Every structure is written in structure tokens, then in C-alpha cells.
Structure 1
Amino acid sequence: MSSFILGVDLGTTSVKAVLLDTASRAVAASHSLPTAADLSDDSGIKAKEQHTGRIIDTLNRCMSHLPREKLQQVRSVGLTGQMHGILLWKEKSGCVWSNRDVFTAGDTSQLITWQDGRCSSDFLSSLPPPDSHLATATGFGCATVFWYLKHRPEFLGDFTAAGTIQDYVVSMLCGLDGCVMTPQNAASWGFFNTSSNQWNENVLRSAGFPVHLLPRCVPSGGLAGKTRSAWHGIPAGTPVGAALGDFQCSVYSCMSARTDAVLNISTSAQLTFAMPADFTPPDSPQPDSSIAFYPYFDSSFLAVAASLNGGNVVATFVEMLTAWMKELGAELGDSCLYERLIHCALNQEASDLRVSPTILGERHDPLRLGQVTNISASGLSLGHVVRALCRGVLANVTAMMPAERLRQAGVTRIVGSGSALARNEVLRQEAEKAFPQQVVYGQTADSAAGVAMVLCDRRI
């Protein structure tokens, strides 16, 4: 009889669940749904939060679309999801289980996501220096706790545990006291030393940080516990892996050789390759560097140029045009407009127009803004502008990680992936122009499949 591994990705905009056949390592069933969980912010602090209950409701609806007879044959469960963000909850009442093998969110905060902007540069500079090779940025879990400690300390007193959204689901499934977290997610929070795999407890405690909220660390690819009860047909007592980072899982799903680099353009954009097995990251943060080193598996690291500006920039351009058209009384839906814009750009050769699309800044340069230069009367058609915008997205990524750096690392192939790259042929054309290495597609990065593959390969 076939057995399966369930992989779940709790992403920024959607939830995806896949069932991986353990024998063939092929996806036997999958379903994805948008969360529509973003909350509006009228506070003026650049908050970016999502409704926890809606995310868990979307997870339950997604699970209900998978074949129940296959769910009953699930051997293990893997969770991944958006990194950096933080969710707080009360250990004994963090969720409510119904008699239909389903849980809903209980006493929790809203999810403060990786896109949160409440921690200004001045605020971040006031924090103690971390004992880590990774700098701390706004949207990172520990920075957010420090912000609440200064501005709303009573808020923290309502909760006894904290983690990423994927850590929360693991804790609820297993009925854990507190939270367990892998180095992949811990490093994304800041104030975590990847060499010792320990939090900077002394540094944090000296600064008044509530260290009791810090999760307990377990190895990436290891076990967190077992399901406390049946869940959507998955039997009680099924092993659950400790939650992993969605970036690492997406890379795992499509990097087939160490000479591959993975270019992923979805909401944001990342370009990454695997460092040698004996690589050791720097002793301290390199805040001005555009390349960071993320923990991967078995004490190895990925070199990552992680841009905040990817498909979201193109989406913002479409939203801007839609708003302009509405003001002019000529409304057209975003989806239809997007397709027409791509068509215009496909029929338009490149011009001298240059768009620097960094409207969201970058973590190594948070005050950076976008620019449009080399404007001429002959290069202002929609096709010219859209192509220049797409070229700018790639130019920004390759400026963060130059082709020469890839060549020195022995990279011979770029694996292109991500929803924006899949949808936008102009982005693909510009990617193929941006790299001297061959750019290939077809091996789609899939975090949900990736986390299932990790458990399958490790026989969890």
C-alpha cells in the first residue's frame, strides 16, 4: 500500500499542501488557496500584519481538498512557511480542537510578517550588537519583540510562547509546551548564532528582552513531535518535522547539483548557490553586504542575494496604472491589464530607458529608492517602460550578486523559478540576457514539495 508525506507551505499570500508519494517522490495530490489575510494599517507605523485565524482557516480548507484516503496513509508531516515574522500565543489555549479532527486559532496575536516596517533604522541602531554573522532588520522576530518592549510592553505580557507561523502550527499539531524552532527559522529572527546554534541569551537578557519567549532549537530536518490527535484523517501519533524556512525548502526542491544557482522571482526575488561544505560564515554582521549566508542543512550554508523587490514591483506598477485609469474613467481589472502589458513589452525591443525598481529599499540599503533615468521621447511607450522595469528587476539582483561571483563559485547553470518568473515571459527573456550561464526552467521551486522531500530523504 502506498504511503505519503504531507508537505505544507504557509506562504505570504497563500497556503499550499502536497502529498508526496514516498516510493516515487512524485506529488500525488496538491491544493493551494489564497489566504486573503492581510490587515489594513492605519497606525502610521508601517505595520504589516496578517489575521492568524484566516491563515488557519485557509489551511483547513486546503487540507479538506486533499483525498482523505491518502491522508489516512500519511507517514509524516512537514511544515514550512514565510520566514522572519513572529506570532505569539498562550501555551495552553493557543488553539481550539473540534471533534472533527480540525483545530482553529485560539489565544494568539496576529502574525507580524517579514514585510513589517515598524522598526526604523534609528530604532535598529539602538539595539545591542548581535553575536551573529547576520544583521537584524525590520520584520525580524527579535526586532519586533524589542519594538513592543519599548512601545507596548503590556502586549508581550499576554503571551507565553512565540515562533513563526509554521512553528505555531507544528506546536498546535503536537500539543507542545512552548515552541521548537530550527536554525533556518531562528537565524531569520536575528540574535541567533549559527555556529553554536544558540540564541544570544546573554546579550538579549542584558537588554531586557523576554528570553522566556525564545523557542527551543532543534536541528533542521529533525523531528518536533507527533500529532496529538487525528488531523483531517491523518492518524494521531504521526511524526511531525520541525518547521523549516520556505526559502531553504524551495531551493531543496529544485537545486539538483552543487553547480546550480537558483533564481527565484515571486513576491520578492532571490539568487542563491550552495557554499562549500567547509565554509564558515563571518564572525559578525556585514550590514552593507548585499549577500548573506543562510543556514541550510547539515551545518552547510547558502549564499543568498535576497532582494525585497521582485514580482511585487511589477504588481505595484499594474496597481498604479489601474488607479490612474480609474481616475480617467477607463477601468480595467489588474489581471487583464497585466497580460496586456506583458504583450506590449514582448513586441518591444529594449531602449535606453533605465528603471531602478528598488521602491521597497533593500535590507543592506533600506533608504534606497527607485529611479527612472535615460528618459527620451522615443522610449516612453508602455512596452518600453514594462521591459525596462523587468530588466531593472534582474539588474538589481545581478548587482547584488554579480555574474563573476557565480563564476568563481563554479556555478554553470541558473535554475529559474517562482510565480512571477513563470507568469512573465519578459522577465524570463531579461533573465537569459542577464547571465552568461545557461538559464533553465521546468524544475519549479515548490516549498511545500521541498519540505516533504526533506522528510522523505531523511526517512522521517
Structure 2
Amino acid sequence: MSLPTCSSTFVLGVDLGTTSVKAVLLDCTTRSITDSNSLSTAADRESQAVNAKEQDPCKIIDTLNQCVTSLPRDKLHKVVGIGVSGQMHGVVLWNTNAACEWFVSNSVGMFKPKDTSQLITWEDGRCSSEFLSSLPQPNSHLSLSTGFGCASLFWLQKHRPEFLSQFDASGTIHDYVVSMLCASKGCSISTQNAASWGYFNTVTSTWNVDILREAGFPVHLLPEPMESGACAGHTCSEWHGVPANTPVTVALGDFQCSVYSSMTNRTDAVLNISTSAQLTFAMPAGFTPACVPDALSPIAYFPYFNGSYLAVAASLNGGNVLATFVGMLKAWMHELGVEISEASVYPQLIQAAQAQPDTDLRLIPTLLGERHDTTSLGQLSNISPGNLSLGHVTRALCRGIMENLCSMLPPQKLLEAGVERVVASGSGLGRNQVLRQEVEKALPLPVVYGKNVDSAVGVALLCCDRLNTEWSS
């Protein structure tokens, strides 16, 4: 297809994050965002598995429907491409013959999940170190961790084989959305998302099928790999006013899309602090990672676009640590007979920390461990009677988040790689002046804020670029 040349066409960008869904409309001519909406999913659900972290796909898709339907209907009618990204590593299962139900509400078509599994998210901890060590060594440069799609499927095959046998397809939650939009008989997965599952060779763009089959893995559930940025198909029906037969990207990693929206030059590094935290820079053209994973290395090499890679320090501990701290304070106050809302706690913590510009309190915030060090825990040290105020503790917590990230990817490596500035983004930074101060103290480079930086924007930009090049015919 050829992209219409009129100025009134749009690309719809959608991101299905860990805690929220965002939808944006990008003007194809100006490459600017004209409309956006973001809503919390509240999708977390209980699970019988120990240390499990699961979400309800119905809640996620319901939130997606709410986000998209709130956008201007006249612009949705003029959408010429859909880009989809989302939380990586996780896995949801479905049956290709009855995976969703299409219906009409307020004169617009939409779908809802039908007979899917719960989404096992990237935060899932059911795969213990002992269980992971019992699995075969991947033919991949990326190590396997709990929360990775293949690890979760291995766990289900061992502990709940009868449950697993109910399904014939699997993918990330955003793979599922693309499959439903395009009425795909199977499931396609981008090399970005496939790499995030484990047992995927990014050099050959193939699953480790022989290794997996020999270990009894249900290889029939593996999605079909596609180049990141490729067109996965076309909408099978009108969707929220978006015309039928609109091209849809293969689902992409939210991390790569956030980088795409912000890395203007290859000399940029990108810092993102939202639920988790990442610091990344582009590897030189032609770089190929080693074929053997280094489980102890805090730096991983994520596939990007057009065969390139990003060097990434991906910490499990970011804004979620601050959220845990706030939750702890709220619980303490409840025990003392005082009810407060979490929303009211945040601004008071930031105000207290701003009044405390420095602290000698040391806080290591690795409450969730790290993929390269699963046994690490949080630590508080150098405690004295004079540094136990909320200001001291909040300042130390914000500093600790950034120090932990810099211990994984030392700033000196950025300088050696020719990085000239850091583009910083994420909800954790957007509302936390203290954390921004600690970022600027930790990094010996200019830090740039204020760009329209997020995954939904990035996937919309990518879709727009591909419509103008590879997808045109």
C-alpha cells in the first residue's frame, strides 16, 4: 500500500505497560502527537503459584478499549497504520479458534479476550534458581531468568501440563493484541520480544528448537519470529473507527520503542525510570554479541532495529521501589490508626527530600534482586539519630536507585563509547525532582528532559517511518 499524502492522516500508537495502557495519535505529516490517553489497568490477580505475578488479560484489553475509544473519532477514521508495543518477557496463552469475541459498543467495533490464560508477567518469580539451573543451556547471548516466557512455559509443562494442553498459541500480551486485530491463525513475534523470552538466537533469528524439544518443551506453542518493525498483517475489521485492512506492526518491545522515541543521535544514551529502570546506549554498527550468555554480567545486549543492538543495564528496581516505600508508610500509618492515601504521601516525601539536599545515609534499593544477582537484597547502612527523617530516607532512596544503575553500567563506559548526552524519561523521573537531582549528580554528561518520550510515541513513530519506506508498495 502507499501512504496517503494528505495532511490529515494519522498513526495510532498503543503501549500495553506493566501498570497502564497508553494510546496516542501521531500526525503523519508533522510527526507530532495530536492526542493521547493513558489509564491504569489494575490488572494484577492472585495466583496459586509461589512468588507468582499474574495479570488479567480481560482487564488489560478493557483498558485498551477505553483508551482508544476516548480518542477523537474523526481522526481514528483517518488512521493509516497501527503500532503496538508492550511489557516484555511475559506470556499469555490462547486458542486460535476462540481467542476473542468481537462486538459493537456505541457504534464502534472492538474485541475482548475469550478463554485465555492469565498473563504471567516479567515480574513473575515462580522459577527459582534451582528450577532455572535444571533447564538446558540456551544457544543465545542472553541469559534466562524467571519471568521470561520460555522459563514460564517450562514451569507450566512441569507443574501444570494439563492446564498447558488446553492452548495452542502463546505470545506476549501485545502479540496477542496484534493477533486478534489481524485475525491471525497463529502468532507472530518480533525478534525483540522473542529475545526477551530466552532460547532465541538473535544472530540467526531462530528459536533453539532442538534444545527445547529434547528438554520436553512444548515447541508447538512458540510464536513465529518476524523482523522487528515488519508488518504483521492488517486489521480484520473496523476497530474503534480505525478502518478495516489497516496495516499493523508486529508487536515490539516497550523498551526499544521508548529508546526509538528519544535517541535522536547515536551519541545519545537513554535513561528510563518508570516501574523498573534502564540505562542504554547504541553499540557500533556491525556489533555481534558473544554466543554464550554471561549470567553474571549486569549489561545485556538487546536487539534493536535493522540488525543493531543496544547495550542495556536493565534494573528490576526503579519506581517500584519508591512505590513499595510509600506502601510501607501507608501500612505503618494504618497500624497507628491514621488513614492516608498513597497519592498524598508522594508530594510530601518529595518536599521533605528537597529540603534535605544531601545525606550520609546509604540505601541499596535492590528489593527485587537483579537478573545478574538474584540473591541481592536491599540494605540500609550508616544509620545515625540525625539521618532518620523522611527527607534523609527519601533522598537516600532516590540516590540508591541511581547508584545501583550506575554500578551496573558505570558512567565511564558511556564516555568511552562516545556518548555526548543522556536523554532521560519515564514516569519515575517526571514527577520526582529529587530523583532528577540524583541523576544529574551521578552522570558526568548533560541530561535532557522534556521530550515526548515513551513507548507509545516510539511505536507510532516507527510505524510512521515504516509506512513511508518498507511498507509502501
TM range (shorter): over 0.9
| Equivalent of 1:62 in 49, 59, 67 | 67
| Equivalent of 2:412 in 382, 404, 411 | 404
Deviation at 1:414, TM superposition (A): 1.0
| Equivalent of 1:227 in 217, 235, 240 | 235
Counterparts of 1:3-82 in structure 2, within 5 Å, are: 3-41=9-47, 43=48, 45-82=50-87
Deviation at 1:337, TM superposition (A): 1.0
Instruction: Name the amino acid aligned to 2:92.
Output: L
Q: Which residue of 1 aligns with 2:3?
A: none
Equivalent pair of 1:130/1:200 in contact (CA under 8 Å): yes
Q: Which residue of 2 aligns with 1:109?
A: 117
Deviation at 1:184, TM superposition (A): 0.3
Say if 2:91 is the partner of 1:86: yes
Distance in structure 2 (CA, Å) of the matches to 1:330 and 1:38: 26
Deviation at 1:107, TM superposition (A): 1.9
Equivalent pair of 1:88/1:161 in contact (CA under 8 Å): yes
SS state at 1:272 partner: strand
SS state at 1:229 partner: coil
Q: Which residue of 1 aligns with 2:290?
A: 282
Any idea what the Cα deviations from partners look like across 1:401-438, whole Å, max 9, x if unmatched? 00111111111111111001111000000000001111
Distance in structure 2 (CA, Å) of the matches to 1:444 and 1:315: 24
Instruction: Name the amino acid aligned to 2:457.
Output: A
Say if 2:155 is the partner of 1:150: no
Distance in structure 2 (CA, Å) of the matches to 1:338 and 1:418: 16
SS state at 2:261 partner: helix
Distance in structure 1 (CA, Å) of the matches to 2:112 and 2:444: 49
Any idea what the Cα deviations from partners look like across 1:147-172, whole Å, max 9, x if unmatched? 01111111110001000000000000
Deviation at 1:297, TM superposition (A): 0.1
Say if 2:130 is the partner of 1:118: no
Deviation at 1:44, TM superposition (A): 5.4
| Equivalent of 1:432 in 440, 461, 469 | 440
Distance in structure 2 (CA, Å) of the matches to 1:191 and 1:202: 10
Deviation at 1:132, TM superposition (A): 0.1
SS state at 1:204 partner: helix
Q: Which moved more, 1:442-451 or 1:207-216?
A: 442-451
Instruction: Name the amino acid aligned to 2:454.
Output: D
Q: Which residue of 2 aligns with 1:188?
A: 196
| Equivalent of 2:209 in 179, 201, 223 | 201
Instruction: Name the amino acid aligned to 2:218.
Output: P
Q: Which moved more, 1:389-398 or 1:371-380?
A: 371-380
Deviation at 1:101, TM superposition (A): 1.3
Q: Which residue of 2 aligns with 1:173?
A: 181
Gaps of 5+ in 1: none
Any idea what the Cα deviations from partners look like across 1:358-411, whole Å, max 9, x if unmatched? 010000001100100111111111111110111000000000000111111111
Q: TM-score, normalised by structure 1?
A: 0.99
SS state at 2:177 partner: helix
Gaps of 5+ in 2: 1-5
Deviation at 1:98, TM superposition (A): 1.3
Distance in structure 2 (CA, Å) of the matches to 1:44 and 1:32: 31
Q: Which moved more, 1:226-235 or 1:95-104?
A: 95-104
Deviation at 1:445, TM superposition (A): 2.2
Deviation at 1:330, TM superposition (A): 2.1
Distance in structure 1 (CA, Å) of the matches to 2:162 and 2:36: 42
Any idea what the Cα deviations from partners look like across 1:67-93, whole Å, max 9, x if unmatched? 111111110111100000001000010
SS state at 1:31 partner: strand
Distance in structure 2 (CA, Å) of the matches to 1:330 and 1:10: 35
Deviation at 1:175, TM superposition (A): 0.6
| Equivalent of 1:369 in 365, 377, 380 | 377
Distance in structure 2 (CA, Å) of the matches to 1:52 and 1:269: 24
SS state at 2:64 partner: helix
Say if 2:218 is the partner of 1:213: no
Q: Which residue of 1 aligns with 2:466?
A: 458
Any idea what the Cα deviations from partners look like across 1:115-166, whole Å, max 9, x if unmatched? 0000000000000000000001000000000001111111110001000000
Deviation at 1:278, TM superposition (A): 1.1
Equivalent pair of 1:173/1:228 in contact (CA under 8 Å): yes
Number of equivalent positions:
459
Any idea what the Cα deviations from partners look like across 1:8-55, whole Å, max 9, x if unmatched? 0011111111111000000111111111111134x3511100011111
Instruction: Name the amino acid aligned to 2:74.
Output: E
Q: Which residue of 1 aligns with 2:259?
A: 251
Distance in structure 1 (CA, Å) of the matches to 2:138 and 2:280: 24
Distance in structure 2 (CA, Å) of the matches to 1:252 and 1:397: 21
Equivalent pair of 1:264/1:270 in contact (CA under 8 Å): yes
Q: Which residue of 2 aligns with 1:342?
A: 350
After TM superposition, where is structure 1 displaced by more than 6 Å over at least 4 residues in a row? Answer: none
Distance in structure 2 (CA, Å) of the matches to 1:170 and 1:44: 28
Equivalent pair of 1:418/1:444 in contact (CA under 8 Å): no
Distance in structure 2 (CA, Å) of the matches to 1:217 and 1:356: 39
Q: Which residue of 2 aligns with 1:423?
A: 431
Counterparts of 1:286-305 in structure 2, within 5 Å, are: 286-305=294-313
| Equivalent of 1:265 in 269, 273, 276 | 273
